[in-house]
Structure 1
Amino acid sequence: MPFKDTAPKKRIEYQGKNIRVSRTSGVSATKTVSKDGYAATFNTNHGIRLHKRLFKGARMGFQNGNFQFIGRYNSGPFNFNVSKTGLSTSIKNKRGSYNIIKPNYSSFKFAGVQVRGKNAATLQLFFMAFTLVINVIKLLWHIMISLLWMTFLTLKWMVDFIIGFYKGYK
């Protein structure tokens, strides 16, 4: 049985306006021609795609004779993707994204190395749990400082009131 290298690989690529060179997919050139919401994209690796923009973030068309429907929407940290094969939603952060519906589509990047799939989903869950714990500690710290400050101000007001009342009584 041959040895299979499963270590994460660093992404090596060049991406220009009409050309992309990568370690895994090689060289590809792309040109898109569009007019009034209709477009044709020519790609040396994927063939010809004819598509129509339906509305912002959604398009449908044909690529190599196969029907395509792609819709993308993002709001805050959440991304929603709709295609003919189904719906998926993911949450993004500074280390990549965690796909909630399809965890094997997650990604995690650290120190220039990108990991995808099950390993990325596991790393994303650990990262999000760690971030949640840190944020809860910060929130509790701010609440504690606020309560101490309000207690100090209340006690100071009471002392000032008693001293003023005593001086006024004399």
Structure 2
Amino acid sequence: MNPGKGGGRWAGREGQDFLSQVVESSCVDYAGIHVWPDAWDVETPEFQKQFILNRAKLVNGKKPFVLEEFGIIVGKSPEERKEDMKKRDMYFKNAFETTEKLAKENKISGSMFWHFYDENVGPGRFGVRTSDASTWKMIENHAKFMARLSGLQTSCPVAAENDVSTQSSS
């Protein structure tokens, strides 16, 4: 079950037995978790960190493990956005630091925040936009860290001679 007060709210009533129905199931390819402090009524970065660490301990290398979704609601008004962005950055920093620690120990395969929006598209309450400069910088740094740790490129250079738009047809 999901953590939190729940009561009449969906979060406390939803979920499954993570260990038996996800980790130990031969029908599930990887273990993934979502962390939604707003929906769970458990709004502390320490809880978020402990939740991720606890799930990593349960997976214990039995299959790939991914922090699939995490985020914080950001208000619509400029005043709400300013305060909420600070809060979101705190949670993203915490999620990325926890993921990076676990990744160095080969206990997590990756993380994905929820959700990337193009400018002026989407409702944006959970979404991140490139104009959200402080959050976006953390996302870029985390992606580069995870790529380096995995031995992947941290950028995708394109040579002009390989660009089909600059080649003439014969």
Q: TM-score, normalised by structure 1?
A: 0.24
Q: TM-score, normalised by structure 2?
A: 0.24
Larger Rg: 1
Larger proportion of helix: 2
Larger proportion of strand: 1
Q: Does 1 or 2 have the higher relative contact order (CA < 8 Å, sep 6+)?
A: 2
